[in-house]
Structure 1
Amino acid sequence: MRDAKDPGTIEMRFPSRVGRPSLFGRPLTAAERARRYRARKAERMRAARRAPARATEVGLLDELRSCMAVGQAYGVHRILREIGARYPIG
């Protein structure tokens, strides 16, 4: 905001809004945010299932939790082997 009558006044710059910019021109509802989160989580788990070597750590841990919940021993061992290969002890 600038005073047009005062030649010594410079244009003031105000800081931009705080937070992430909105994706669709409006804030997401809680249900929309949750839906997007669940979709990202499911995609990480699918990636861990398809190719554990290329999956993220978060995806591996989510898939490990899922395999343990249903008692899928082969999936648990496969994911633990990948985690062990990434983070060797000693």
Structure 2
Amino acid sequence: MVFNPKYLSIGFLLLFLNLRKLPIKDGLIIFLSASYIAVILGTIAVEEGMLDYPVRHLRDHFDSSLLFEMLYLPVFYLYFYRTTLYSRTFKL
């Protein structure tokens, strides 16, 4: 499959919208740490054969999906953090 810049622009738009509604320090810490952890765990999973990405950008240099591990997954973490920031714990 060929690289489509539409997916990259959607990812950056979602990142901008999520960072705008959070304190910038919290948002950057979550985004950067999630990217770091996702790249490490994704690389281990791909090298062990547990995971195979059908669409990979820069296929000659990386075995994992950079767009997913460095943009989409951390944006999902930001969205999860933003929606659960002021929620209370579940009371039984």
> Could you tell me the TM-score, scaled by structure 2's length?
0.31
The structure that is helix-richer by fraction is 2
Q: Computing the radius of gyration over CA atoms, which structure comes out larger, 1 or 2?
A: 1
